[in-house]
Structure 1
Amino acid sequence: MENRSAFALYKFVSLAPDKTIVCKVVDDVLSSGCEVGALVNIIRPTSEGSCAMPAKISAIKDNGRTILLVPMGRPTKVQRRVFPRVIAEGGVKLKLEFDNSNSLYKSMQVYDISGGGIGLTIYSKKAIFIGQRAKLEIEFHMYKNKVQARGEVVHCSQRNQGSREFLIGVVFVQISEGDQEVVLEFVAAEMQRQMVAGKLKEKSISAAEAGEIEHEEQPTQPACEEQPAPPAQDDQPEEDEQQPDELPLAV
């Protein structure tokens, strides 16, 4: 489920007689925009991509862990790109086996992943072409079960001319709903982890800058000592009286 400013992963629990949809949180609550009356999109993965349906939050329970939704329209098919995509900073292992003989590669590294596909850098002796099909086995450090899927190369480019390093994008053409939910859970958890890590880093930098500014603003002469009056001919402002530079505005 998502709105314009936030994303959270909930699972369907039950459907009330009045068509109200009851959902419980899987990973982290929808903190931003989660209020009664807010409009959200319910995104459900399917074997052919995903479908979306507009809904309105009618009730919130357990501090956002349980929400009640009222459908506001009919489900519509959407493109795969609707899945949130996250850069994989470790935690993802991939085994790739192309349908043709091009299954031997020197090394491979996952770049990013979403519920609709995966991007990776691969070193291959043979060229890789758009349209090639492959079998994928994805392993996440936070889950025991491995995700099985079939994919198709939809993007392929060489990093440098004459290089055997390829940047490819593989879209999932066949994946079970259970395996796709595992991918979505990982994406949601990784997005939350990176967001928290980014906020902590920004907070640390801001604290360090504030300490430097406070140090610069300390007076250079003790306030309790009287200084002799300067000669009239040297009546110029001292350098210590210059105002500190303005701070950059936080964006």
Structure 2
Amino acid sequence: MPIASTLYSMPQRRVPSLPADTRIYAVGDIHGRADLLADINARIDDDLLRRPIRYSAEVYLGDYIDRGPDSSRVISLLATRLVRNRAVCLRGNHEAMLEAFLAEPAALADWLPLGARQTLASYVITNTTDCTPRDLLRQLHERLPRTHQLFLQCLSDSYCCGDFFFVHAGIRPGVSLELQKVHDMMWIREEFLDSTQAFERYIVHGHTPVPHPDIRNNRINIDTGAWRSGVLTCIAIEGSEIVVL
């Protein structure tokens, strides 16, 4: 399979890097686009065959569900990568809303406007108008595979390797990485996006859709709005180079 790639030169205020013989593949927000995820998985596998390396890791930045048509299959694909490839799957704000609903039916009110119907439909739950939140929760508990439940339990809030820090939405400027609040790492926008300060590590994130990977002195955003644009971004980081597969 041919790989179309773009090499990005990082602005030169600082040059973050990974340890030697290490490559990390980071994937942006998927939002129910299982078709695009399957293609990215194939690209990663092909890239590793073409360019073997001693240590590689896959990091998925969260927001696997909602909005797109096939959230259930996305989770199935990621659960397989988690087991077979020891992939790191971060928790996005959309997974957090699903988890909140699984714990308390009243949480559906916050989740519905952000794509809950598409996710429920992927589990063959389509009548969201006439059913109460408690009934919808009962149906979801009946249809949610055990592997998907375990997948949600395996989600992480962040991942760090070398000079790179991977997180769903971003971090709060002025707060050390060790003291970041989980809510900020899943939800923050303007305070983080507008900051030009040098963080403790270079931040790789998604959460806020951009037309193409947005590389800055202190961060890179790889959420390219896959559910609507049809473009799911995966970057390969090796040394201080970032390649878009």
The structure, 1 or 2, with the larger RCO (C-alpha pairs under 8 Å, 6+ apart) is: 2
TM-score band by shorter chain is under 0.3
Higher helix share: 2
Q: Which of the two has greater strand per residue?
A: 1
Report the structure number with the largest CA radius of gyration.
Answer: 1
TM-score by length of 2: 0.23
